[in-house]
């Protein structure tokens, strides 16, 4: 009976030593979508590995300053001497155009069976990721002016009116109507400067479409729109 305190001391010492010698590491960082635009809510995918199980994410903290995102993940582990791997998602939200940095810090606490709460947390690892957010294609709205054209969808007459604003040296200009699957619905070639073009769309189904303009001097513009009728 007198040996029990000694064995208990050895158990606690072994747990403490294991906490110091076994690793808690970040094994991967990525964002979804892989090529985000300004219309996307960016999410950081974090892969972690722990030398003890089970493992769980206790809570998280996310902040930002300009194009820098700071994410802290606070993880707890049990006493089982097994490898425990996790994949967790952290929401970064909508992002502006440009290069962005995601800095992730891993914090860890191993429970001993005597803990009333999973704390305190100690620093375990950190990693960072650089990703690019691009400008989303515009959704066409009546009277919306783009670089080269102005679009006026006319639901009552099942047409789209295209007013040309700044095209000068780009003629001839090809205009393609493309569906969400990349199938070309209609192609119109404009060989000389034109003030306005009317595109009939009586035969298309409601959905998302792309109006693609190409011309001389590597001119190209892509404009997404939703046809609801």
Q: 220: which strand partners?
A: 214
Query: What's the confidence (pLDDT) of residue 5?
Result: 52
Query: What's the confidence (pLDDT) of residue 84?
Result: 93
* Mean pLDDT to the nearest integer, 156-171: 72
Which domains occur in the chain, in start order? 4-133 (2.60.40), 144-227 (2.60.40.3080)
- What is the rounded average pLDDT for all residues in the chain? 79
* Mean pLDDT to the nearest integer, 22-35: 89
Q: Report the C-alpha gap between 8 and 20 in whole angstroms.
A: 19
Q: Report the C-alpha gap between 28 and 41 in whole angstroms.
A: 20
Q: Report CA-CA distances (Å) from 6 to 20, 79, 192.
A: 21, 19, 94
- Condensed to tens digits (0 to 9), the pLDDT of residues 100-115 reads 999 999 999 988 765 6
Q: Report the C-alpha gap between 122 and 109 in whole angstroms.
A: 6
Query: What's the confidence (pLDDT) of residue 103?
Result: 98
Q: Which residues contact 155 (CB under 8 A, 6 or more apart)?
A: 228, 229
Most confident range, picked from 20-24, 132-136, 153-157: 132-136
- Condensed to tens digits (0 to 9), the pLDDT of residues 54-103 reads 899 999 999 999 899 999 999 999 888 899 999 999 999 888 888 999 99
Q: Are strands 68-80 and 41-50 parallel, antiparallel or unpaired?
A: unpaired
Query: What's the confidence (pLDDT) of residue 214?
Result: 83
């Amino acid at each position: 009976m007198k040996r029990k305190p000694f064995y208990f001391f050895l158990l606690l010492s072994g747990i403490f030593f294991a906490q110091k010698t076994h690793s808690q590491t970040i094994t991967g960082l990525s964002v979804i979508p892989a090529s985000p635009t300004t219309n996307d809510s960016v999410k950081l995918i974090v892969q972690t590995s722990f030398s003890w199980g089970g493992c769980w994410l206790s809570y998280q903290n996310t902040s930002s300053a300009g194009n820098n995102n700071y994410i802290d993940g606070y993880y707890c582990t049990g006493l089982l001497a097994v490898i425990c791997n996790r994949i967790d998602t952290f929401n970064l939200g909508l992002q502006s155009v440009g290069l962005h940095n995601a800095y992730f810090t891993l914090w860890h606490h191993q429970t001993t069976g005597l803990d009333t709460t999973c704390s305190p947390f100690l620093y375990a690892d950190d990693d960072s990721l650089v990703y690019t957010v691009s400008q989303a294609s515009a959704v066409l709205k009546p009277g919306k002016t783009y670089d080269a054209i102005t679009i006026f969808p006319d639901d009552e007459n099942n047409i789209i009116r295209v007013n040309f604003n700044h095209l000068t040296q780009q003629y001839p200009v090809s205009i393609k109507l493309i569906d969400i699957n990349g199938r070309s619905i209609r192609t119109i070639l404009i060989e000389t400067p034109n003030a306005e073009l009317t595109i009939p769309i009586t035969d298309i189904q409601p959905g998302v479409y792309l109006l693609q303009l190409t011309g001389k001097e590597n001119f190209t513009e892509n404009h997404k729109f939703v046809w609801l009728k």
